[in-house]
Amino acid sequence: MTQTTPAPAPSPIVTAHAQLAAAVRHLGYDEGTHQHLATPRRELHVAVPLRTDSGELRMFHGYRVQHNISRGPGKGGLRFHPDVDIEEVRALAMWMTWKCAVVDIPYGGAKGGVTIDPRGYSQAELERVTRRYTSEIMPLIGPGTDIMAPDMGTDEQTMAWVMDTYSVAQGHTIPAVVTGKPIALGGSLGRATATSAGVVHVTDSALREQGQSIEGRTVAVQGFGKVGSHAAQIFAARGARIVAVSDVDGGVRADGGLDMARLLEHVAATGTVVGFDGGDPITNADLLAVDVDVLVPAATENVLDETTAQAVQARLVVEGANGPTTPEADAIMAKNGITVVPDILANAGGVVVSYFEWVQAHQAYWWTAPEIAERLEHRMATAYVDVAEHASREGLSLREAALVIAVKRVAEAHKIRGLYP
Ligand code: GLU
């Protein structure tokens, strides 16, 4: 048998452009409008040199892309990952534009990235990288211009360093320049688990449409980071059975359900789900093919492609990650009758509570945890209904409907504002 080398994964920007083109076609927009929506508004590529703890000099690349700022300031995370490149950041920034528009919060879309593997560096080194990057992109960011948040490889401590670097440069404390901050610096209650809570809310909405509920459903979660681990815990607390989870190193499966409390102890002790004795080992690829009610890809881009999508047995896929599904995989899952709740809706809970955090910082008045939970649930439920109704009215998938709604909101903002000059 001849072995064929698998084709390299397409850049996420290819997926993002294909999705936009489909929405533009559906909306009947002209090519000029299409290109206006496709073209990033501003991009900055900066050098990020680091003096390591051992005295070596290492160079990284940093990016900040503002894809669109017609509905409000740029908004989006900062990613630390060795594979970050300008095309990935462009795609992620574009998805932020549509995400903010579909949940109707007054932001455009932006994203940042640094080509560093944070696992290989000390906290002191990561602090220096974060501060240098922040200083280099200073002309673009600000509480009314572009607001960062955590993403893959960054966390609330990273945001504290960004906020401090920016505030020191401006000469006074400006909490609203970032979201996802520590609570002690004006972070919002509920922000740390907001993306996961949103994933569970939309799953609930999608299951209800099928006459089901979360209780008793089987769930597999790919990615046991900020999004996946909390989603698994919230699902389990609501009576679902978590039958498989994975992280970059591998996964674990137990058809009778994983004991979440013991699994979390294992992860706290070892840093990975691998080796947990309450289940059998499973690969990341096999996890996608487990026969479950709900599959949550919460790791990274392009994991569901034309090969892996063929094997998906879940009835419902809820995208905790950004861009986990290629257009080819979308078509295969649609043909196989699988409902996909798209990333720009499914994982929008994080940016929704980021928006609440930013509003609270502007008011200098903090809301209670129940207030935040209730407002998040309301936003997610409203956005889900908007998308689901549009999808059934127009005969579209949930992804197509979400994109059409979002793209239309952004295009309308462009149209009403007009062109300058
Ligand atoms: N990085 C998260 C995302 O991809 C959150 C962005 C934010 O809160 O600004 O949605």
Compute the distance from residue 151 Cα to the ligand 1 centre, in Å.
6
Ligand 1 atom nearest the C-alpha of 348 is: 10
C-alpha to C-alpha distance for 104 and 61, rounded to whole angstroms: 32
Rounded (10°) CA dihedral 103, 106, 108, 113:
-80
Rounded (10°) CA dihedral 204, 206, 207, 213:
20
Ligand 1 atom nearest the C-alpha of 77 is: 1
Ligand 1 atom nearest the C-alpha of 152 is: 1
In a mutational test of the pocket of ligand 1, which residue from 351, 358, 380 has the highest number of ligand atoms less than 8 Å from its CB? Answer: 351
Ligand 1 atom nearest the C-alpha of 322 is: 4
Q: What is the pLDDT of residue 2?
A: 45
Compute the distance from residue 150 Cα to the ligand 1 centre, in Å.
7
C-alpha to C-alpha distance for 400 and 418, rounded to whole angstroms: 26
Is 226 an active-site residue?
no
- Distances from the Cα of 304 to the Cα of 101, 111, 128, 273, angstroms: 25, 23, 36, 21
Residues 6 or more apart whose CB falls under 8 angstroms from that of 22 comprise 400, 403
Compute the distance from residue 149 Cα to the ligand 1 centre, in Å.
6
Compute the distance from residue 148 Cα to the ligand 1 centre, in Å.
8
Q: What is the pLDDT of residue 9?
A: 72
Compute the distance from residue 88 Cα to the ligand 1 centre, in Å.
15
pTM of the model: 0.97
Q: Are 48 and 61 in contact (CB under 8 A)?
A: yes
Buried b (16+ CB within 10 A) or exposed e, 155-184: bbebbbbbbbbbbeeeeeebbbbbbbbeee
Domains of the chain, each with CATH number or no CATH: 12-174 (3.40.50.10860), 194-341 (3.40.50.720)
Coil/strand/helix, residue 67: strand
Residue nearest to atom 8 of ligand 1 (CA): 351
Helices (H) and strands (E) in the chain, counts: 14, 12
pLDDT in tens, the chain (421 residues): 444 555 667 799 999 999 999 999 999 999 999 999 999 999 999 999 999 999 999 999 999 999 999 999 999 999 999 999 999 999 999 999 999 999 999 999 999 999 999 999 999 999 999 999 999 999 999 999 999 999 999 999 999 999 999 999 999 999 999 999 999 999 999 999 999 999 999 999 999 999 999 999 999 999 999 999 999 999 999 999 999 999 999 999 999 999 999 999 999 999 999 999 999 999 999 999 999 999 999 999 999 999 999 999 999 999 999 999 999 999 999 999 999 999 999 999 999 999 999 999 999 999 999 999 999 999 999 999 999 999 999 999 999 999 999 999 999 999 999 999 9
Ligand 1 pocket (Cβ < 6 Å) reads 75-77, 149, 151, 179, 322, 347, 350-351, 354
Annotated catalytic residue: which of 111, 226, 408, 415? 111
Q: What is the pLDDT of residue 3?
A: 46
In a mutational test of the pocket of ligand 1, which residue from 80, 88, 96 has the highest number of ligand atoms less than 8 Å from its CB? Answer: 96
Q: What is the pLDDT of residue 6?
A: 57
Residues 6 or more apart whose CB falls under 8 angstroms from that of 132 comprise 48, 49, 50
Q: What share of the chain is helix, strand, coil (3-state, %, to 5)?
A: 50, 15, 35
